[in-house]
Amino acid sequence: MKKTFLAVAMVAALAAGTTGCKSQQTQEEFNYKVERFADVEVLRYKVPGFENLTPKQKALVYYLTEAALYGRDILTDQNGRYNLAIRSTLEAIYQNYQGDKNSADYKGFEKYLKQVWFANGIHHHYSTDKFKPEFSQEFFTAEVKKLDASKLPLAEGQTVDAFLAELTPVIFDPTVMAKRVNQTDGEDLIVTSANNYYEGVTQAEVEAFYAAMKNPNDTTPISYGLNSRLVKKDGKIQEEVYKIGGRYSAAIEKIVENLKKAQEFAENDAQKAHIGKLIEYYTTGNLKTFDEYSILWAEDVVSSVDFINGFIESYGDPLGYRGAWESIVNFKNEEASHRTEVISANAKWFEENSPTDPRFKKEDVKGVSAKVITAAILAGDAYPATPIGINLPNANWIRAAHGSKSVTIENITEAYDQASHGSGFNEEFVIDKETSDLMDKYLFQVDNMHTDLHECLGHGSGKLLPGVHDDALKEHGSTLEETRADLFALYYLADQKLIDLGLLDNKDAYKAEYYKYLLNGLMTQLVRIEPGKNIEESHMRNRQLICKWVLEKGAPEKVVELVKKDGKTFVKINDYEKLRTLFGQLLAEVQRIKSEGDYAAGKKLVEDYAVKVDQDLHKEVLKRNAGLNIAPYKGFVNPVYTAKFDKSGNIVDVTVDYTEGYAEQMLRYSKDYSPLTK
Ligand code: ZN
């Protein structure tokens, strides 16, 4: 629940060349753009400072990146039970194709494979809708039949015809496994979702299974269902646990093998201890051990190199139990971390002065550690599409008692910024030159600040009343949690405190973020939605919820308006100060809903403001955006790390290279890091 993604408007609004607080470093020639297909642009990112790490730190990073890359297949399989077989088959066709590469079928096929790589499966990474292949079933069948059967992922004793009969509808029939995560109210969310987290069970059975396990008086509950698949076998509902000797064992063994090597290069005993705990958790599958690991990890705030590796975020499960596998390896950006350290050091002030009811405030805001990091590798659910901020661990009781770690991944935001120049976005969507100039000047700075406030303070603020369970808001929990964190950030962006702390130097800078936020939430984020569809993804729901709410509540005083100019719709903010007050009011209400576990009120907010799309406005936004040639989604290829070993097999140096292409990287990962498809 604690990831921040880059808002679509920001990428482009930065186009006119902002001078952010850390853009002094000169940009040598570096090609950030890799390639463009479908609705996606693939970029690459730099890892500045890697060369300054000690040899020991480089070795640590190296083995952690190896541990990261070995988990790729886990996520692909979690996203859908046929994903690995489909990926292998498509790659075999791609690598053995002899026909005309300019044919419509081949072009459609290549696009589809690139989409499958990007989404780690056959469903769009963001909308979770199944991709529509732009090549014929006949083309696919013919190409599969040309392949040597040894190149196909056939099951024991399976014929090629039987294999095709199984896979073809999954790829080509739009009604089969149509959506990875279905959130449609009133439907059985488990039965109708195509992810691979459940088999043979209904939503009611899943809810009953965990209700029976949970003890309402348990103040330190484990994250039920986080590391398993729930299946009905022989009439009995049971968890297939992800662990060594359990589900995904072959991949987890390779992860653990590399974690053990990494442990030898740990920077200190605290880090050695949490790597050890993570190994124990992967070995036993015990979720109590995962909590022990999470505590050790959260409390290690001194190590420079850090990482996450495990089953973490639960967006992929409509009921929010199961964690998608992911890994990010990183090291601290000391200079930029100063900003977030100042915010964290003042966490208590922010909590005390927030507009929420005192009953819902945390008495003792502690351990909100925050830093700016440089990502060294992205993997699993964080690759190729990646968050720009992370705040973990997710368990509320651990966050309350032991604190949490919050990070902004600045080499990723830097890459977005650098790649976005000259798109024409501001000219098309921003209402006037004055606002556009303000955004040029301050948006990069205040957008980073928004992320910092959201991650360092927003998610960590407030408390649940006694007896209210973590998942009381059920399917709306993620949306409302993001709403709360965003409102906390928006409210404080306009506060004099940030100027007093030396974090901002202009009292109007926040207006750049306010304008961008409303433009995005009311209009431009709709470029990610297909015509006729409603909003499903929780971050998008959160943004629209906030924006439509302030638009409606501020209407009598015209705080914010949608106005027409030359037949085009524009967001017009008439009263920035009043807008801030509205953000504060909604923050107080959303905090109340969260603290009291008021499911009915939360559901109503989401249904009234977050889901429905204005069809005419949507059409207009799509049309205007189409003229700009901006990809709605972006993702990254990783750098390539090469280790040099001495004669006795000890690592002596690690070098980093940025030249690998997209297909090249995907095929290499499938060849070298694919223990589940062998
Ligand atoms: Zn968040």
CA distance 40 to 528: 11
Going from the Cα of 315 to the center of ligand 1, the distance in angstroms, rounded, reads 12
pLDDT score at 400: 87
Integer Cα distance of 672 and 30 in angstroms: 27
Strand, coil or helix: 330: strand
Count of beta carbons in the 10 Å neighbourhood of residue 106:
18
Cα 458 to middle of ligand 1, angstroms: 8
Give CA 560 to chain center in angstroms.
30
Ligand 1 centre and the CA of 330: distance in Å? 19
Give the pLDDT confidence score for residue 13 in this predicted structure.
36
Q: How far is the CA of 617 from the centre of ligand 1 (A)?
A: 27
List the one residue out of 81, 134, 126 whose CA is nearest residue 103.
134
Distance 281 CA to ligand 1 centre (A): 26
pLDDT number for residue 1: 41
Instruction: Give distance in angstroms: CA of 2 to centre of ligand 1.
Output: 4
155 lies in a domain? no
Residue 647 one-letter amino acid: K
Assigned domain for 214 exists: no
Ligand 1 centroid vs 455 CA: distance in angstroms? 6
416 inside domain: yes
Coil vs helix vs strand at 261: helix
Beta strands in 298-403 (DSSP E): 305-313, 324-332, 368-380, 389-392
Whether a cis peptide bond, with omega within 30° of 0, leads into 393 is: yes
- Output the CA 370–ligand 1 centroid distance in Å: 14
DSSP strand pairing (33-37 vs 40-44): antiparallel
Strand partners, 551: none
DSSP at 215: -
Per DSSP, the residues of 290-312 read HHHHHHHHHH--S-SEEEEEEEE
Tell me which residues have their CB within 5 A of the ion that is ligand 1: 2, 482, 485
Cα of 627 from ligand 1 centre, angstroms: 31
Question: How many Å lie between the centroid of ligand 1 and the Cα of residue 451?
Answer: 8
Per DSSP, 129 falls in state B
Answer whether residue 348 is part of any domain: yes
Distance, CA of 639 to CA of 84 (rounded, Å) = 24
379 within 8 A of 414, measured Cβ to Cβ: no
Instruction: Give me ligand 1 centre to Cα 161, in Å.
Output: 46
| Closest to 426 measured CA to CA, from 12, 7, 19 | 12
Helices 509-522 and 433-452, axial angle in degrees (round to 10): 90
Distance 213 CA to ligand 1 centre (A): 28
How far does the centroid of ligand 1 lie from the alpha carbon of residue 238, in Å? Answer: 32
d(CA 344, CA 338): 10
Q: Give me ligand 1 centre to Cα 545, in Å.
A: 15
10 Å CB burial of residue 228 (0-12, 13-18, 19+) is buried
- Determine the distance separating the centroid of ligand 1 and the alpha carbon of 562, expressed in angstroms: 27
Give the count of domains, the chain.
Answer: 1
Residue 110 CB partners (closer than 8 Å, separation 6+): 94
Q: How far away, in angstroms, is 133 Cα from ligand 1 center?
A: 33
| Residue-range definition of the domain harbouring residue 520 | 12-24+31-72+246-636
pLDDT in tens, 451-499: 889 988 898 889 999 999 888 999 999 999 999 999 999 999 999 999 9
| CB burial string 259-296: b at 16+ within 10 A, e below | bebbbebbbeebbbbbbbbbbebbebbebebbbbbbbb
Tokens of 7: 């808002």
Cβ within 8 Å of residue 189, ≥6 positions away? 182, 183, 203, 318, 319, 475
Q: Write out the two tokens for 110.
A: 């290549």
Ligand 1 centre to CA of 454 (Å) is 6
Please give the Cα distance from 541 to 518 (Å, whole number).
13
Residue 290 included in any domain? yes
Closest by alpha carbon to 512, among 445, 442, 560?
442
* Å from CA of 216 to ligand 1 middle: 26
Q: What is the pLDDT of residues 399-416, one digit of tens each?
A: 889 988 888 898 998 888
Contact 658, 76 (CB under 8 A): no
Helix, strand, coil % over all residues of the chain, rounded to 5: 50, 15, 35
Mean of pLDDT over the chain: 92
Distance 533 CA to ligand 1 centre (A): 24
Give Cβ neighbours of residue 298 (< 8 Å, ≥ 6 apart).
367, 369, 392, 393, 398, 399, 402, 403, 404, 405
- 392 CA distance to ligand 1 centroid (A)? 10
In angstroms, what is the span from residue 639 Cα to ligand 1's centroid? 27
Per the CB < 8 A criterion, the answer to whether 201 and 230 are in contact is: yes
Residue 39 backbone phi and psi in degrees, to 5 = -100, 25
Instruction: Tell me phi and psi for residue 656, to 5 degrees.
Output: -125, 140
Supply 448's token pair: 């980073």
Is residue 434 in some structural domain? Answer: yes
Which pair of tokens denotes residue 15? 């186009």
Contact between residue 262 and residue 232 where contact means Cβ atoms under 8 Å apart? no
| Residue 653 alpha carbon to ligand 1 centre in Å | 37
- The count of other CB atoms within 10 Å of the CB of residue 473 is 23
CA 538 to ligand 1 center in whole angstroms: 10
Separation of CA 30 and ligand 1 centre (Å): 31
Distance 388 CA to ligand 1 centre (A): 10
Listed in sequence order, the DSSP H helices in 494-537 are 496-500, 509-522
**Calpha distance 605→592 (Å, rounded):** 13
Tokens of 261: 């090597």
CA of 173 to the centre of ligand 1 (A): 35
| Three-state SS at 247 | strand
Cα 343 to averaged position of ligand 1 atoms, centre (Å): 17
Q: How far, in Å, from the CA of 254 to the mean position of ligand 1?
A: 31
| Separation of CA 90 and ligand 1 centre (Å) | 35
Quote the ligand 1 centre to 482 CA distance (angstroms). 5
Is 187 part of a structural domain of the chain? no
**Distance from Cα 459 to the centre of ligand 1, integer Å:** 7
Q: 4: CA distance to ligand 1 center in Å?
A: 5
CA 3 to centroid of ligand 1, rounded, Å: 5
Which pairing describes strands 633-637 and 40-44: parallel, antiparallel, or unpaired? parallel
Q: Which residues of the chain have pLDDT under 50?
A: 1-2, 7-27, 367
Residue 484 Cα to ligand 1 midpoint, Å, equals: 9
Q: 349 C-alpha vs ligand 1 centroid, how far in Å?
A: 21
Residue 468 vs residues 217, 475, 487, 597: alpha-carbon distances, Å: 10, 16, 22, 6
Q: What are phi and psi of 371, to 5 degrees?
A: -155, 165
Strands, E assignment, 110-266 = 198-199, 228-233, 236-241
**Cα 485 to middle of ligand 1, angstroms:** 6
pLDDT recorded at residue 80: 98
Q: Would residue 667 count as lying in a domain? A: no
Spatial separation of the C-alpha atoms in residues 84 and 98, rounded to whole Å? 23
Residue where the block lists tokens 């013919």: 142
Residue 247 has phi, psi (to 5 degrees) of -65, 140
The rounded Å distance from CA 543 to ligand 1 centre is: 11
Q: Is the peptide bond before 384 cis (omega within 30 degrees of 0)?
A: yes
- In the reported structure, the alpha carbon of residue 387 is separated from the centroid of ligand 1 by a whole-number distance in angstroms of 10
Per the rule left: phi > 0, alpha: psi between -120 and 50, beta: everything else, 145 is: alpha
Sheet of 33-37: strand order equals 33-37, 40-44, 633-637
Q: How many A from CA of 462 to the centre of ligand 1?
A: 14
